[in-house]
């Protein structure tokens, strides 16, 4: 029993506060749990720090991938046209830079028909039929009868057949007319309409292919959006001018490359600063950070610092981060000299690409290592987190088992002190009986 229990009322006949006494005993008995709980808190703090580092390593990995992949920032290109009124272009990442000469002789045309006007879209038409053929496809006969004998209902019926034709009613000062337009441009989608209903069809436009040359090679296209001529390039024809040469340039998107490089540096610095803070020792409080003494964090820190000093071959004049204008500070973080980086990207772009994209380059090497370090199953921090979580679970099992023991002790103490309480409450009566007996004895 605890020596701190208040015994001032033990012999007063008032008994004791059993609940208070047992609560004091339970509180004292639980003191060993505090050490386990403190360990759990320290482990959770360490796990949180490692988990954040793992997330930031993964982000750093994605940033270096944007530089090492040809479809990323270093492969990004822009296009320009010497005459956008004739042709413009777009190019996908990884497209080879260069200049292409385009001449547009004619644009692709979309076939269309229209009928003679009638009073309105609801005017009743005579029964009959029309036959519609798209290109060399199978002709389709559309009947006109009492269920669809107006321009509106006839247009809806044609659209419902999904023939590759769009039908609609045009209303102007002359009345209402049925118009039909092929859903695709070019000669292969030219329309042929046979009129057996006396609607008076007129062919407005004959479907035709665009004709152009690209770098002197003659091209025929069913669409004014031309793909497949230059890998990765899409030409959009906006006008035709026989004999007019248009220069379409494809150049590296240096702004994307510069931005991606700075994004990588930012991601790198975030990880380094978190490691520095986590492993720091506060001389004032004489306490280490959440990662103080953490061997995994120390190993990752050393590996990242090694990245910053890496030298690669086969990239011309750009062989280190320093040659790109990226310099290391005393705390291990990196600083970007924007002027030097702009010069490297603008004037040495092929070397810049090789630095990040060659098989032994900076980008490929760093990406491979970060992929291993940040692996959710076998990464440096992931494995450590799993070990710490196992330790935390073991501590929780100890706490749970101890709580079972405390619950048993609590019940035992309640029983004991309830019995004592009853005895103490009976003391005054017992004392009175004794005094009475003593009084009787003395009077004899």
Q: Maximum distance among all alpha carbons in the chain?
A: 151
SS3 state of residue 327: strand
| pLDDT on residue 424 | 78
DSSP letter for 150, please: S
- Supply the pLDDT for residue 403: 81
Please determine, for residue 204, whether its predicted confidence score (pLDDT) is greater than 80: yes
What local confidence, expressed as pLDDT, does residue 37 receive?
80
Query: In angstroms, rounded to a whole number, what is the distance separating the alpha carbons of residues 427 and 385?
Result: 61
Residues 365 and 433 in one domain: yes
In terms of residue numbers, what domain contains 223?
77-107+210-252
Higher-scoring residue by pLDDT: 94, 66: 66
Three-state SS sequence of 80-104 = EECCCCCEEEEECCCCCCEEEEEEE
- Residue 128, judged by CB atoms within 10 A of its CB (0-12, 13-18, 19+), counts as middle
Rounded Cα distance, 264 and 255, in Å: 14
Q: For residue range 127-150, list pLDDT tens digits in order.
A: 999 999 999 999 999 999 999 999
Q: Are residues 19 and 43 in the same domain?
A: yes
Instruction: Determine contact, residues 406/36, Cβ cutoff 8 Å.
Output: no
Question: In whole angstroms, what is the distance from residue 133 CA to residue 371 CA?
Answer: 58
Check whether residue 3 and residue 127 sit in a common domain. no
Count of CB atoms situated within 10 Å of the CB of 175? 15
How far apart, in whole angstroms, are the C-alpha atoms of residue 20 and residue 356? 71
Shared-domain flag, residues 309 and 389: yes
pLDDT of residue 192: 97
pLDDT above 90 for 378:
no
Q: What is the DSSP letter of 285?
A: T
Question: What pLDDT sits at residue 33?
Answer: 83
pTM of the model: 0.67
Judgement on whether residues 291 and 404 belong to the same structural domain of the protein: yes
Q: Using DSSP bridges, classify how beta strands 233-237 and 202-205 pair: parallel, antiparallel or unpaired.
A: unpaired
- 331 close to 361: Cβ distance less than 8 angstroms: no
Most confident of 281-285, 296-300, 314-318: 296-300
Q: Are residues 171 and 284 in the same domain?
A: no
Instruction: Pick the last residue of a domain from 197, 230, 252.
Output: 252
pLDDT at residue 73, as a whole number: 85
Instruction: Find the helix or strand (DSSP H, E) in which 255 lies.
Output: helix 254-279
Indicate if 240 and 284 belong to the same structural domain.
no
- Strands (E) across 122-206 are located at 128-134, 140-144, 165-172, 175-182, 191-195, 202-205
The verdict on 156 and 53 lying in the same domain is no
Name the band, by pLDDT with cuts 50, 70 and 90, for residue 3: very low
Q: What is the mean pLDDT of residues 142-162?
A: 95
Mean pLDDT along residues 41-63: 86
Q: Which of left, alpha, beta for 350 (phi over 0: left; psi -120 to 50: alpha)?
A: alpha
Q: Higher-confidence residue: 399 or 199? A: 199
Instruction: Reply yes or no on whether the pLDDT at 2 is more than 50.
Output: no
Cβ atoms 113, 103 nearer than 8 A: no
Q: What is the pLDDT of residues 329-351, one digit of tens each?
A: 999 999 999 999 999 999 999 89
Instruction: Report the domain count for the chain.
Output: 3
């Amino acid at each position: 029993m605890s020596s701190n229990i208040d015994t001032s009322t033990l012999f007063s006949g008032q008994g004791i506060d059993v609940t208070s006494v047992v609560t004091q005993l339970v509180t004292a008995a639980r003191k060993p749990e505090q050490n386990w709980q403190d360990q759990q808190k320290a482990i959770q703090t360490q796990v949180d720090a490692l988990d954040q580092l793992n997330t930031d390593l993964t982000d750093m990995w994605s940033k270096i991938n944007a530089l090492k992949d040809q479809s990323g920032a270093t492969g990004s290109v822009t296009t320009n046209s010497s005459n956008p009124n004739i042709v413009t272009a777009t190019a996908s990442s990884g497209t080879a830079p260069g200049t292409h000469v385009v001449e547009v002789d004619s644009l692709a045309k979309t076939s269309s028909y229209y009928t003679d006007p009638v009073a309105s879209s609801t005017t009743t038409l005579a029964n009959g039929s029309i036959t519609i053929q798209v290109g060399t496809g199978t002709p389709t006969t559309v009947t006109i009868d009492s269920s669809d004998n107006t321009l509106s209902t006839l247009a809806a019926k044609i659209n419902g057949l999904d023939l590759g034709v769009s039908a609609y009613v045009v209303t102007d000062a002359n009345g209402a007319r049925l118009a039909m337009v092929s859903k695709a441009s070019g000669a292969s989608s030219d329309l042929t309409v046979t009129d057996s209903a006396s609607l008076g069809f007129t062919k407005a436009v004959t479907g035709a292919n665009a004709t152009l040359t690209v770098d002197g090679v003659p091209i025929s296209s069913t669409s004014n959006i031309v793909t497949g001529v230059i890998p990765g390039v899409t030409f959009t024809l906006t006008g035709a001018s026989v004999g007019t040469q248009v220069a379409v340039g494809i150049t590296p998107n240096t702004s994307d490359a510069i931005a991606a490089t700075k994004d990588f540096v930012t991601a790198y610095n975030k990880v380094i600063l978190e490691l520095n803070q986590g492993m720091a020792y506060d001389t004032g409080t004489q306490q280490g950070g959440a990662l103080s003494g953490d061997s995994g964090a120390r190993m990752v820190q050393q590996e990242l610092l090694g990245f910053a000093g890496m030298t690669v071959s086969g990239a011309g004049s750009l062989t280190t981060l320093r040659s790109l204008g990226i310099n290391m500070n005393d705390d291990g973080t990196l600083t970007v000299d924007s002027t030097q980086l702009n010069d490297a990207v603008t004037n040495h772009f092929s070397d810049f690409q090789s630095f990040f994209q060659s098989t032994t380059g900076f980008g490929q090497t760093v990406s491979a290592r970060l992929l291993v370090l940040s692996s959710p199953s076998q990464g440096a921090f992931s494995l450590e987190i799993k070990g710490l979580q196992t330790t935390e679970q073991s501590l929780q099992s100890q706490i749970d088992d101890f709580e079972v023991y405390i619950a048993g002790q609590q019940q035992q103490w309640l029983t004991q002190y309830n019995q004592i309480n009853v005895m103490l409450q009976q003391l005054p009566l017992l004392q009175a009986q004794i005094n009475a007996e003593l009084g009787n004895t003395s009077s004899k």
